[in-house]
Structure 1
Amino acid sequence: MYGDTFTAWRADAAQDWHAYTHHPFVEGLRDGTLPRKAFLHYLVQDYVFLIHFSRAWALAVVKADTVEEMRFATTTLDALLNGEIALHVATCAREGIDEATLFAAPEAAQNIAYTRYVLDAGYSGDFLDLLAALTPCVLGYGEIGLRLAAGRGDTPYGEWIDTYAGSDYQQACRKAGTLLDGAIARRLGATPQDSPRWRALSQRFSTAVRLEVGFWDMGLQG
């Protein structure tokens, strides 16, 4: 769907990937049974998550080897800060939660675990390590959005679903998949699965997937 590397890593993490993309939180978004309190708790935490996620994409500019990689990272950073986060701000504002409150919200332990894992991947590793940790969120939400849009009923969470199923986000996912394939080929060669780094990168991807499952769990606890 979003490129060869993503397809291979997704297959390696198949069980955890299904738990992530078909989590009870996700299914509650689809059929409207997710409690509003849980959704708002998730949105507040996801706002904080996206702040750190933006920092990780800023770090990707430093780790990039080409101008094209730098441009993609800065475009993604702009989309996060001035696009995706705006959905969270607007939805929470309707519930009486302003952006200053969002920014100052205490982080849940699952949020700290996930965001610091992603940032550590970038600080301690290279561009590929960072992409492997970033990709499950970017492309997972794209996959979830498409699935929910195709089979949703009457749900109050249609705005959320439409954001990730929409053409702008789906185009960004396809570009992210292309970027990942190009970055892998540039650094690991034409047969990257033969590289000694491949397994470690796939495992890094899988770890981020498990942290996504934990993030949904945290949302339900709200």
Structure 2
Amino acid sequence: MKLYDRLVEACADDWRAYVEHPFVEMMATGKLPEAAFRHYLVQDYLFLIQFARAYALAAYKGRTMEEMHYGLDGLHAILDGEMALHVKYCAGWGLTPADLEAADEDMPTTAYTRFVLDWGVRGDLLDLHVALAPCMIGYAVIGRRLASIPGALAESNRYAPWIAEYSADGYQQVAASTIDRLDALSGGAMGEARFGQIARIFQQASRLEAAFWQMGLDRA
């Protein structure tokens, strides 16, 4: 059984509240208020900045060249790829680079990203990647499920491009790689005390993801 599957099973209620949050459900139907999505987009840009730092930290804490390269690859993927794509996507919603740069972090953004960085500093690589996992894997789970809902990918749904991005093979492979990374870092066997610790990290990160969605709805 994959470590990821064990974590989801141990935190089932909080995981479901995250991946089935009303924010994403309304994306599938096209009924999500545009103001909610715009606020999410701005905060997600600020979120990516902190996640880039988390991957830089992963490279620093790598015990082997392979682990260091994994963190570095994640850092490059965010700084040289995902952030540019995000800025381009935001332009389609009337948000300029100046808008993104001038924005302040909302409290849920700060709470979530600093939680991840805190575990990255005081924990080991497994702690850090478990804290990252709900984001890295959860978006693939959400995208795949939403894409299966009739009409979600229709041209008339303004959120179809977002759903298409996270349901596509490229991001699904990113999630699969993250799942494999957790297994590699855990080394297979794990005592109950250690599993309980990382399950609590996974649970809190899932709760913070749900709060990130709710942040958008609260601003609508």
SS in 2 for 1:197: helix
- Measured in 1, the distance between the counterparts of 2:71 and 2:150 equals 32
User: Structure 1: which 5+ residue stretches go unaligned?
Assistant: none
- Measured in 1, the distance between the counterparts of 2:167 and 2:81 equals 14
Q: Which region of structure 1 is more displaced relative to structure 2, 65-74 or 14-23?
A: 65-74
1:180 aligns with 2:182: yes
Within the candidate set 202, 209, 212, 1:212 is matched to: 209
State the partner residue of 1:200. Answer: 197
State the partner residue of 2:107. Answer: 109
- Measured in 1, the distance between the counterparts of 2:178 and 2:131 equals 13
Matched residue type, 2:116: V
Matched residue type, 2:28: R
- Measured in 2, the distance between the counterparts of 1:122 and 1:21 equals 24
1:59-138 pair list within 5 angstroms: 59-138=57-136
Matched residue type, 1:127: L
Aligned residues between the structures: 215
Q: Map Cα deviations across residues 1-47 of structure 1 (whole Å, 9 max, x no partner).
A: xx701110011110011100000000011110001111111000011
RMSD: 1.4
Percent identity over paired residues: 46
Q: Which region of structure 1 is more displaced relative to structure 2, 133-142 or 153-162?
A: 153-162
State the partner residue of 2:165. Answer: 163
- Once the two structures are TM-superposed, the CA of residue 195 in structure 1 deviates from its matched residue by 5.0
User: Structure 2: which 5+ residue stretches go unaligned?
Assistant: none
- Once the two structures are TM-superposed, the CA of residue 203 in structure 1 deviates from its matched residue by 0.6
State the partner residue of 2:189. Answer: 191
- Give TM-score scaled by structure 2 length: 0.93
- Measured in 1, the distance between the counterparts of 2:141 and 2:119 equals 23
- Measured in 2, the distance between the counterparts of 1:161 and 1:118 equals 25
Q: Map Cα deviations across residues 64-88 of structure 1 (whole Å, 9 max, x no partner).
A: 2122222222222222223332342
SS in 1 for 2:158: coil
Q: Which region of structure 1 is more displaced relative to structure 2, 86-95 or 152-161?
A: 86-95
Matched residue type, 2:141: E
1:20-31 pair list within 5 angstroms: 20-31=18-29
Q: Map Cα deviations across residues 98-139 of structure 1 (whole Å, 9 max, x no partner).
A: 223212211111111101101111111111111111111000
- Measured in 1, the distance between the counterparts of 2:199 and 2:39 equals 31
